[in-house]
Amino acid sequence: MIFQKSAILSDRELKKLGEHKYSSSCSSLLDPLMQRFWNWIVTLVPLWVAPNLITIVGLIVNVVTSLILVYYCPTGTERAPWWTTASCAIGLFIYQTLDAIDGKQARRTKTACPLGELFDHGCDSLSTLFVSLSTVCAVRLGHYPAWAMFQCLTASILFYVAHWQTYVTGTLVFGTIDVTEGQFIVVGVMLLSSLEDMLGMDIWSTEVLYMFTLSQVCTMIGTGCGLYSLVKPDGTIDRIFTGGAGRNGATVAGTSVLSPASPLLLVIVAAWMLAYKSEELIFHNQTLAYIALFGLIFAKITNRLVVAHMCKGEITHRDAALLAPLGLFLNQYFNTFITEWFLLYLALVWVILDLAWYCTQVCQEICVALKVELFTIPYPPPVTSDRQNGSSQTGGVSTRNRKQNIKK
Contact 42, 104 (CB under 8 A): yes
Residue 392 lies in a domain: no
Give me the count of residues in the chain.
Answer: 408
- Asked whether residue 383 is assigned to any structural domain, the reply reads no
Q: Reduce the DSSP state of residue 209 to 3 states and report it.
A: strand
Does residue 20 have an active-site annotation?
no
Q: Is the pTM of this model over 0.95?
A: no
Q: Give a yes or no: residue 389 inside a domain.
A: no
Q: Check whether 395 has a pLDDT greater than 60.
A: no
Q: What percent of the chain has pLDDT over 70?
A: 92
Q: Give the count of domains, the chain.
A: 1
Contact (CB, 8 A) for 366 and 17: yes
The pLDDT of residue 372: 93
**Distance of alpha carbon 81 from alpha carbon 77, whole angstroms:** 13
- 375 neighbors 52 (Cβ within 8 angstroms): yes
* C-alpha distance across the termini of the chain, in Å: 51
User: Measuring CA to CA, how many Å separate 379 from each of 116, 361, 367, 370, 395?
Assistant: 17, 26, 18, 18, 11
Average pLDDT for the chain: 89
pLDDT digits (tens, 9 = 90+) for 330-364: 999 998 889 999 999 999 999 999 999 999 999 99
CB atoms within 10 A of CB 210: 6
User: Contact, 115 vs 49, CB < 8 A?
Assistant: no
* Contact partners, residue 338, CB within 8 Å, separation at least 6: 331
At residue 268, does pLDDT exceed 60?
yes
The HSE-up count of residue 201 (CA atoms within 13 Å, CB side) is 11
DSSP H helices, 109-144, are 114-138
SS3 content of the chain, % helix, strand, coil (to 5): 65, 5, 30
Mean predicted confidence (pLDDT) in 7-27? 90
Quote the CA–CA distance of 23 and 34 in Å, as a whole number. Answer: 20
Q: 96: closest CA among 140, 141, 38?
A: 38
What is the pLDDT, as a whole number, of residue 4?
Answer: 58
HSE of 45, CA atoms in CB hemisphere, 13 A: 27
Domain span at residue 77 reads 11-377
Active-site choice (20, 121, 163, 284): 121
The pLDDT score that the predictor gives to residue 375 is 95
DSSP tag of 20? -
Enumerate residues 6+ apart whose C-beta is below 8 A from 396: 108
Higher pLDDT, 261 or 406: 261
61 within a domain of the structure (yes/no) = yes
Confidence of residue 254 (pLDDT cuts 50, 70, 90): very high
Domain presence at residue 407 = no
Mean pLDDT of 16-22: 91
Is residue 399 situated within a structural domain? Answer: no
**Residue 146's Cα: distance from chain center in Å?**
22
Q: Give residues with Cβ within 8 angstroms of 190, minimum separation 6.
A: 85, 86, 88, 89, 92, 134, 135, 138
- pLDDT at 230 (0 to 100): 86
In-domain check, residue 402: no
Residue 397 lies in a domain: no
Q: Are 22 and 61 in contact (CB under 8 A)?
A: no
| Positive or negative: CA dihedral 293, 294, 299, 301 | positive
Task: Tell me the pLDDT band of 398, cut-offs 50, 70 and 90.
Answer: very low
For residue 330, which of 277, 407, 267, 386 has the smallest C-alpha distance? 277
Separation CA 249–CA 71 (nearest Å):
48
**Interatomic CA distance for residues 231 and 165, integer angstroms:** 13
Cβ–Cβ under 8 Å, residues 172 and 24: yes
Do 327 and 347 touch, CB atoms closer than 8 A? yes
Q: What is the pLDDT confidence band of residue 402, given thresholds at 50, 70 and 90? A: very low
